[in-house]
Amino acid sequence: MLVTAGPTREPVDPVRFISNPSSGRMGVAVAAAAVRRGHDVVLIAGPMNVPPPDQARCVRVTTAQEMLAAVERELHASDALIMTAAVADFRPKQVSEHKLHKQEMPARLELERNPDILATVAARKGDRLFVGFAAETQDIVENARRKLAAKRLDLIVANDVSRPDSGFGTDTNRVIFLAADTEPEHLPLLSKKQVAERILDWIEQRATRARG
């Protein structure tokens, strides 16, 4: 299983970057659950606040482009891709090689769009199961359903990151499972470890069904 976790950081200069509050807890929980169940796990990790599971092979990356390159490199040996990482949508168009002092900083940063990792590797999906995450603050189900279709996902795990007990930096999540062939499944407030177990249950059941 190939799991991504944590944020990406998009540098402005050697001491400044664009990022988000993702801690990596959810991705590490998924990787650890997969290891406990006997799966071979590769964890592609951005700058996380938590250590990776000992038994998973950890590939460290910083930027969205580095994460994409790592996913493309590792995907061929994987049966499932679980994208929990919070990948920055944009990066600065120009990156300074030295620290920009206040008088050098532009009043506006010119940004360019980062690659969408799941959309980029969709053509190589084959029989693999693709699981994505949708961190939303409104219209959770509607926005997640659009991403499910656009990125050719088998399952999307959506959560309201505006809630204090769910999302970035918390030990708990309140998520909704959405698949194309089933009704949305609203899970109660669970620890991220429990959410990870539910995700692994879903993947293993779907894989068993696909094998007939």
* pLDDT(212) > 80: no
Query: Which token pair is 164?
Result: 């204090």
Helix boundaries (H) for the chain: 25-36, 64-74, 117-121, 140-150, 192-210
Tens-digit pLDDT profile for residues 133-191: 998 889 999 999 999 999 999 999 999 888 888 878 889 999 999 998 889 999 999 99
Report the amino acid identity of residue 29: A
Spatial neighbors of 147 by CB under 8 A, at least 6 apart, are 132, 134, 153, 156
Q: Please, are residues 26 and 171 in contact by the beta-carbon 8 Å criterion?
A: no
For strands 185-186 and 175-178, give the pairing. antiparallel
Residue indicated by tokens 């300074």: 96
Distance CA 10, CA 5 (A): 16
Tens-digit pLDDT profile for residues 15-66: 999 999 999 999 999 999 999 999 999 999 999 989 999 999 999 999 999 9
The active-site residue, picked from 20, 49, 114, 173, is 20
pLDDT at 71: 98
Q: What is the CATH number of domain 2-91+111-210?
A: 3.40.50.10300
Tens-digit pLDDT profile for residues 68-104: 999 999 999 999 999 999 999 999 999 999 999 988 8
Q: What is the mean pLDDT of residues 198-204?
A: 97
Tens-digit pLDDT profile for residues 112-138: 999 999 999 999 999 999 999 998 889
Distance CA 27, CA 117 (A): 16
pTM reported for the whole predicted model = 0.94
Domain ranges of the chain: 2-91+111-210
Active site residue 114: no
